Structures are given as structure tokens and as C-alpha cells.
């Protein structure tokens, strides 16, 4: 039960204090329960409300104003600081992430209540009645006329200056993190929230980077304002709903437990229904159910809820994550491109009041670098254009768009030549080793990193050339090449459109290019945030694609899709031309709140339980 002897002793000591508080309460005519764990407190206003009305404004109410027109208040909050001064004293109460100071004098409240004040510990909850005044040092404060004890903290609060910084404890005991890291600690006020700054000197260069002078040394950085992040997360959800509600979309809820886990390629979690003796899967996407609803005549639907994928955990992946999916009948992917830009801009304005956001890039060679992202400027590139555009400088002549029309013959030439060019470039740098033997753990200097990268890319290009010539899984290879070459560059908002058919079993093909589908993903901050397409609505084609997926699965791809007979049947009744999109809400929240890890935008991220 207790983590240490220290905690056990403290717990016992504070139980003793509760008894003393009960005794003092008796003098005030309170029962033991009323004195120690009362049921309520009739506050007249919250601390944030009072601060907004009298303090946090251009012209705060002055000492003279308060003296002329006494403002009586009753507030409640958690005690975060105590400064006793003999027969008087101060304390800071925190509510809603903000603090208000109270001032108690024995002369004003009497023996019993002052006794209660002296028994207060950091973390206790109290309610006070009094009037506002301004102290000598200029802090607006409640001059207490009546003090009520509300709840005792039986455990010790973390360091009042640093707050709770241990990342593991912050995630495991979010309830402590939430009241400690509200931006109110002295350290947070001095240093601002933690942001890892690029340790790579050349990574800080460039127009969009922050100026070096803005860098915060890592050891001085305070934890983020956790409360603010989650308040913003709620604002993001509200803004999304507002956006879709205003446009006639209906919010729906579809099954989280599904007999067939469809709509995406991912490994599912399995569970079991006892009464029906039925194996079920936690959904990996709501997609197939939402499109059933469009068949049912719900022309515009959206759902915001959890998806579950039994995959790895990283700074961009949590096994359960929140997804927005929406579908619009009689629209195609071009309509959704426009809608996406509008949506992201709308949400950013609602939440931040700005289309600029500072974001630490979470992965890739620029990992940790803080960039200013301009959500008003969107670039649109086809996947093929992106590969051409981000073809490495040292990899020779980039393919042309026309080369993609002959992916088995023209395209492999560029990858083979690219591998040769990179090898030459590398040996010009003095690296004569065979690429595969380049040690990835070589000293971590800029030039060694470049060589390793070049060498790995060289091997990769050779294998791509080989795969393309063979002609198997060409679509998979192309989309993978896109991710390898382009993704890390897509820091500013970018729509990547037209995907290979092979990686898009639910998308409609482009009428003039049957190997490509009407699909786009959008990228911000160097990772994918959303995925959209014109929905495949030909049931015969859909059945064929499911069968191809089933064959993939049989070949060992355990992420390939399964046949969903009922979904095909729904399509047989007729899905109108429809476009749909999914947006990762956690990732969007990361971008709009400047958080580097998905765990910093999920209240209770998955953690391995502590071993007993």
C-alpha cells in the first residue's frame, strides 16, 4: 500500500492532523464528517473566473477600488503554497490550473480556524470566504474571514519549484502531473515549457527554424503545461464537431467490437463474448460501418472515437488512439482536399487563434528541431511528383513522371543508376567499404551519419530496382519509396495524392490510370495526419480486392484485410459516389499543442504495469 516508510509515516501523521481538525471543527459546531470530509462548499466563483474579472486584464482592479467597493468572495481550491508568519499567513489556492492567494490572520478568524490553517499541508483542499485586497507587493489576495477545511492530502506533493518532472511518473500518475504542471510553478514561469532543441547545428539552419537565441537548454526546461494541452485537446474535439455539425454531417457511433476487423491494414486485438461464445476484434477503423451508413442514406456522417491496433508503441503510436472519420456522398477526393485545408485551418483558429504553430519534429533526421508550421500554406503533390522532387541529390538523375508509366522497365534504371551514383559519391568521401558492412554504430558525427544514410539508401535502391524489374508488388514498392524519400521533408502542410492501387484496397481507381487510385494523405510536421479517398463502390471490384487481400494474408502478410461479406452485400445495394477521410486526432493535437510525443496528448498512455 505504501511506497516507503516515509509515506507510511506521513499518512499516519496526516490522519492525526485530521483528528485535530475534527476537534477544532467541533468548536465551530461541525460534526467530524463536516469538519474533515465535508460534502460540498458553496463557492461564489471559481478562481479562473475571479482572476479574469479582477486580475488578468489590461487594467486590473486596484487596491483603492477594492477599498472603496469591497468585493466579497467564497472560493475553493487546492493548497499549493503555504507561508506561515506567526499569527498570520498566506497560502495559494489552485483551481482550474490557476492560483489565487489567500491571507489569514488569527485576529480575523479566531483560534479554531487559525488552528486549522496551521494544520494545512500542501495538497489539501480548502474553501475560504473573504474580501479581495491587494498586498504591499501588489498581489491581489483574498483576505479570509472564514476558513473551511475540505479534504486532506495524505501523500506528499512533489517539489514545489520543479513540479513533477519524471516522465514515467507523469504518465503513470497523471492525476499528480495534472495539478502540478499547470504552468504555475516558479520553474515553468521562469523557463517556459520543455522543448527539445536540435542538437545538430546544421539542423537549426533554414528559414523555418527557430533562431538559435530562442533555444532553451534542455536541463533548464520545465515540463509542459499539461493541463493546457488537455484543455486544448478538448477544444480541438469541440471545433471538429462544430465544423461538421455546421455542414450537415451527422455524428454517429459504430461498433468498437467487430466480428471482422476491417477498414485498415493492421493487426487487431482480439476479445471474446462469453454468452454468444463469439470471438470479436477491437476495431482498427470504423470505415466499413460508416460506409454502410451512407448506403443507408446517411449522406454525411462522422465519428470521433478510439481505434485499437496491436502494433508497436512509439512517440507517434499508442495502441489505442483517437480517429476522426467522415464520409460525404456525391463527393470525390478533390472535394475532400479542399475540405481538409478548410477544416485544419478552422480548428487551428478556434484553438490557437493562429495558423502558425511551433512544433518539434518527432522523427527522422530533423528529429527534435522546432519549426514554425504555417497552416495557411498547403502544398499539393502527387506521390509520383513527391518521389521525383525528393530524389536524393547524390542519386543521379531522378525519374520523370513518364517513367512511372513503365514501372518494370524505365523506373528500375533510375534506382540502379542511383545506387551506383551514391556509391561513387560515398567513395569520393573516402568510404570504400561495401555498403552492407557500414557500421550503423559508427561514431555519431554529421559526416558519418551522412555516409551511413547514403550507404543504406544505396542498398535500398538496389533492392528497389530488383523488385521493380521482377514486377511483383510494384505498388507497394512505390508507396514505400515515397515514405523513405519524401515523408521526412513534409513538414509544412502537404497533400500527397494518387496512390498505387496495390496499397489501397478500398479506394476507387483513377478513370484514366487503372493502376492508381483517387486517394490522398496529408502530412504535417513530417508525419501522416490524415488519409482520404474516393470510395470504391463497385461491389464486384470490392470483392475481387478483398480476395486479393485474403491471398496476401495467406502468403503471410498478417496485416492484410479479410473478406467482409456483409460489407460487400451493403455495396450491392448501392453506395453512391462517396469520399471519406480519416484524421489522427492525437497527431493533430500534437501539432496544435507543440507536443513531441503522442503520450503527451493522451491522458493515460499505455504503460507496462509496475512489477510488484
Partner RNA sequence: GAGCCUGUAGCUCAGUCGGUAGAGCAUCGCCCUUUUAAGGCGUUGGUCCUGGGUUCGAGCCCCAGCGGGCUCACCA
Nearer to RNA, 277 or 441 (CB): 441
Q: How far is the CB of 321 from RNA (least distance, A)?
A: 3
3-state SS of 486-507 is CHHHCCCCEEEEEEEHHHCCCE
Residues 6 or more apart in contact with residue 81 via CB below 8 angstroms? 90, 91, 92, 99, 122, 160
Point out which span in 168-176, 231-239, 371-379, 388-396 binds RNA (CB under 7 A). Answer: 168-176
In eight-state DSSP terms, residue 256 is S
Return d(Cα 174, Cα 168) in angstroms, integer. 10
- CA-wise closest residue to 199 among 208, 212, 186, 190: 212
Helices (H), 471-584: 474-485, 539-554, 565-572
532: β partners: 520, 581
Nearer to RNA, 6 or 573 (CB): 6
Return d(Cα 267, Cα 307) in angstroms, integer. 12
Point out which span in 28-36, 159-167, 402-410, 562-570 binds RNA (CB under 7 A). Answer: 159-167
Q: How far is the CB of 249 from RNA (least distance, A)?
A: 22
- CA-wise closest residue to 235 among 350, 355, 375: 350
Question: Does 505 interact with RNA (rule: CB under 7 A)?
Answer: no
Question: Does 587 interact with RNA (rule: CB under 7 A)?
Answer: yes
Position among 41, 66, 117, 171 found at the interface with RNA (CB under 7 A):
171
What does the buried/exposed string (b/e) look like for 162-179 if buried means 16 or more CB atoms within 10 Å of the residue's CB? Answer: bbbbeeeebbbebebbbb
Question: Does 85 interact with RNA (rule: CB under 7 A)?
Answer: yes
Helix axes 333-352, 226-246, angle to 10 degrees: 140
Query: Are 381 and 389 within 8 A, CB to CB?
Result: yes
- Please give the biggest Cα pair distance in the chain: 93
Residues 6 or more apart in contact with residue 584 via CB below 8 angstroms? 321, 322, 323, 528, 529, 530
Question: Does 311 interact with RNA (rule: CB under 7 A)?
Answer: yes
Residues in the chain: 612
Position among 27, 46, 61, 81 found at the interface with RNA (CB under 7 A):
81
Position among 15, 19, 110, 161 found at the interface with RNA (CB under 7 A):
161
Nearer to RNA, 259 or 364 (CB): 364
Question: Does 159 interact with RNA (rule: CB under 7 A)?
Answer: yes
Return d(Cα 154, Cα 406) in angstroms, integer. 71
Q: How far is the CB of 177 from RNA (least distance, A)?
A: 10
Point out which span in 235-243, 270-278, 314-322, 345-353 binds RNA (CB under 7 A). Answer: 314-322
Position among 28, 55, 122, 349 found at the interface with RNA (CB under 7 A):
122
What are 371's three cell numbers? 519549426
Nearer to RNA, 87 or 242 (CB): 87
- CA-wise closest residue to 55 among 42, 65, 67: 65
- Footprint of RNA on 337-366 (CB under 7 A): 362-364
Question: Does 184 interact with RNA (rule: CB under 7 A)?
Answer: no
Q: How far is the CB of 362 from RNA (least distance, A)?
A: 6
Question: Does 166 interact with RNA (rule: CB under 7 A)?
Answer: yes
Position among 160, 191, 247, 473 found at the interface with RNA (CB under 7 A):
160
Question: Does 262 interact with RNA (rule: CB under 7 A)?
Answer: no
CA atoms within 13 A on the CB side of 133: 13
Question: Does 188 interact with RNA (rule: CB under 7 A)?
Answer: no
Nearer to RNA, 528 or 564 (CB): 528
Return d(Cα 489, Cα 212) in angstroms, integer. 21
Question: Does 90 interact with RNA (rule: CB under 7 A)?
Answer: yes
Question: Does 473 interact with RNA (rule: CB under 7 A)?
Answer: no
Position among 45, 55, 82, 413 found at the interface with RNA (CB under 7 A):
82
Position among 68, 275, 554, 610 found at the interface with RNA (CB under 7 A):
610
Question: Does 162 interact with RNA (rule: CB under 7 A)?
Answer: yes
Q: How far is the CB of 420 from RNA (least distance, A)?
A: 23
Nearer to RNA, 90 or 346 (CB): 90
Site string for RNA, 222-261 (x = CB under 7 A): ----------------------------------------
Position among 39, 40, 59, 137 found at the interface with RNA (CB under 7 A):
137
Residue 72 phi, psi dihedral angles, 5° rounding: -90, 135
Question: What are the strands of the beta sheet with 270-273, ordered from one edge?
Answer: 257-258, 278-282, 270-273
Question: Does 101 interact with RNA (rule: CB under 7 A)?
Answer: yes
Number of residues binding to RNA, judged by CB under 7 A: 84
Position among 1, 68, 275, 611 found at the interface with RNA (CB under 7 A):
611
Point out which span in 52-60, 98-106, 413-421, 430-438 binds RNA (CB under 7 A). Answer: 98-106
Return d(Cα 532, Cα 534) in angstroms, integer. 7
Taking the chain, what is the end-to-end CA distance rounded to the nearest angstrom?
Answer: 11
Position among 19, 57, 70, 83 found at the interface with RNA (CB under 7 A):
83
Position among 402, 555, 608, 612 found at the interface with RNA (CB under 7 A):
608
| Helix or strand (DSSP H, E) at 323 | strand 320-329
With cell 461479406, the residue in question is: 565
Please report, for residues 246, 264, 283, 336, 387, the alpha-carbon distance to residue 300 in angstroms, rounded to integers and kept in the order given.
12, 21, 21, 12, 34
Position among 225, 254, 367, 593 found at the interface with RNA (CB under 7 A):
367
Question: Does 10 interact with RNA (rule: CB under 7 A)?
Answer: yes
Question: Does 107 interact with RNA (rule: CB under 7 A)?
Answer: yes
Position among 559, 562, 563, 603 found at the interface with RNA (CB under 7 A):
559
Position among 77, 263, 368, 505 found at the interface with RNA (CB under 7 A):
368
Nearer to RNA, 159 or 446 (CB): 159
Rg (CA), the chain: 30
- Footprint of RNA on 379-438 (CB under 7 A): none
Question: Does 475 interact with RNA (rule: CB under 7 A)?
Answer: no
Amino acid at each position: 500500500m505504501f511506497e516507503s516508510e516515509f509515506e507510511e509515516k506521513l499518512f499516519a501523521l496526516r490522519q492525526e492532523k485530521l483528528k485535530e481538525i475534527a476537534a477544532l471543527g467541533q468548536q465551530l459546531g461541525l460534526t467530524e464528517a463536516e469538519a474533515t470530509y465535508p460534502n460540498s462548499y458553496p463557492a461564489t466563483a471559481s478562481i479562473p473566473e475571479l482572476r479574469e474579472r479582477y486580475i488578468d486584464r489590461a487594467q486590473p482592479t486596484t487596491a483603492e477600488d477594492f477599498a472603496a467597493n469591497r468585493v466579497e468572495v467564497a472560493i475553493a481550491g487546492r493548497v499549493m503554497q503555504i507561508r506561515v508568519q506567526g499569527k498570520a499567513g498566506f497560502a495559494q489556492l489552485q483551481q482550474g490550473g490557476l492560483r489565487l492567494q489567500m491571507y489569514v490572520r488569527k485576529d480575523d478568524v479566531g483560534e479554531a480556524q487559525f488552528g486549522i490553517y496551521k494544520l494545512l499541508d500542501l495538497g489539501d483542499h480548502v474553501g475560504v470566504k473573504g474580501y479581495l485586497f491587494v498586498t504591499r507587493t501588489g498581489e491581489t489576495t483574498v483576505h479570509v474571514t472564514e476558513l473551511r477545511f475540505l479534504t486532506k492530502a495524505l501523500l506528499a506533493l512533489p517539489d514545489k519549484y520543479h513540479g513533477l518532472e519524471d516522465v514515467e511518473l507523469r504518465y503513470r500518475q497523471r492525476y499528480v502531473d495534472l495539478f502540478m504542471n499547470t504552468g504555475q510553478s516558479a520553474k515553468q514561469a521562469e523557463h517556459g515549457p520543455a522543448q527539445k532543441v536540435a542538437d545538430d547545428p546544421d539542423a537549426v539552419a533554414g528559414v523555418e527554424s527557430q533562431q538559435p537565441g530562442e533555444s532553451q537548454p534542455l536541463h533548464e526546461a520545465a515540463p509542459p503545461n499539461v493541463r493546457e494541452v488537455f484543455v486544448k485537446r478538448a477544444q480541438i474535439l469541440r471545433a471538429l464537431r462544430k465544423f461538421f455539425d455546421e455542414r450537415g454531417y451527422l455524428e454517429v457511433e459504430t461498433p468498437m467490437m467487430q466480428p471482422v476487423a476491417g477498414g485498415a491494414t493492421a493487426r487487431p486485438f482480439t476479445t471474446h463474448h462469453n454468452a454468444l461464445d463469439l470471438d470479436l476484434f477491437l476495431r482498427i477503423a470504423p470505415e466499413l460501418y460508416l460506409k454502410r451508413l451512407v448506403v443507408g442514406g446517411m449522406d454525411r456522417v462522422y465519428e470521433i472515437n478510439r481505434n485499437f491496433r496491436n502494433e508497436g508503441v512509439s512517440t507517434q503510436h499508442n495502441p489505442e488512439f483517437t480517429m476522426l472519420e467522415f464520409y460525404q456522398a456525391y463527393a470525390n477526393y478533390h472535394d475532400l482536399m479542399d475540405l481538409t485545408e478548410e477544416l485544419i485551418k478552422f480548428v487551428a483558429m478556434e484553438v490557437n487563434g493562429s495558423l502558425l504553430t511551433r512544433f518539434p519534429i518527432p522523427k527522422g533526421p530533423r528529429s527534435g528541431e522546432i519549426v514554425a508550421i504555417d497552416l495557411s500554406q498547403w502544398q499539393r503533390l502527387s506521390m509520383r511528383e513527391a518521389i521525383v522532387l525528393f530524389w536524393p541529390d547524390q542519386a543521379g538523375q531522378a525519374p520523370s513522371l513518364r517513367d512511372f508509366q513503365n514501372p518494370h522497365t524505365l523506373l528500375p534504371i533510375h534506382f540502379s543508376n542511383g545506387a551506383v551514383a551514391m556509391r561513387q559519391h560515398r567513395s569520393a568521401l573516402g568510404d570504400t567499404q561495401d555498403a552492407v558492412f557500414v557500421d550503423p554504430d559508427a561514431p555519431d558525427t554529421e559526416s558519418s551519419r551522412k555516409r551511413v544514410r547514403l550507404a543504406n539508401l544505396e542498398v535500398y535502391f538496389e533492392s528497389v530496382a530488383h523488385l521493380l524489374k521482377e514486377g511483383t508488388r510494384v505498388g507497394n514498392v512505390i508507396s514505400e519509396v515515397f515514405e523513405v524519400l519524401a515523408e521526412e521533408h513534409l513538414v509544412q502542410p502537404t497533400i500527397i495524392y494518387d496512390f498505387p492501387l496495390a496499397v489501397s484496397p478500398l479506394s476507387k481507381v483513377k478513370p484514366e490510370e487503372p493502376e492508381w487510385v483517387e486517394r490522398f494523405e496529408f502530412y504535417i510536421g513530417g508525419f501522416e495526419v490524415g488519409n482520404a479517398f474516393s470510395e470504391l463502390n463497385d461491389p464486384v471490384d470490392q470483392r475481387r480486392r478483398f480476395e486479393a487481400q485474403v491471398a496476401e494474408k495467406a502468403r503471410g502478410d498478417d496485416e492484410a484485410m479479410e473478406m467482409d461479406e456483409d460489407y460487400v452485400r451493403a455495396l450491392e445495394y448501392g453506395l453512391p459516389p462517396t469520399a471519406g477521410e480519416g484524421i489522427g486526432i492525437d497527431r493533430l493535437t500534437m501539432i496544435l499543442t507543440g507536443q513531441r510525443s503522442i503520450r503527451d496528448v493522451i491522458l493515460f498512455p499505455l504503460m507496462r504495469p509496475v512489477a510488484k
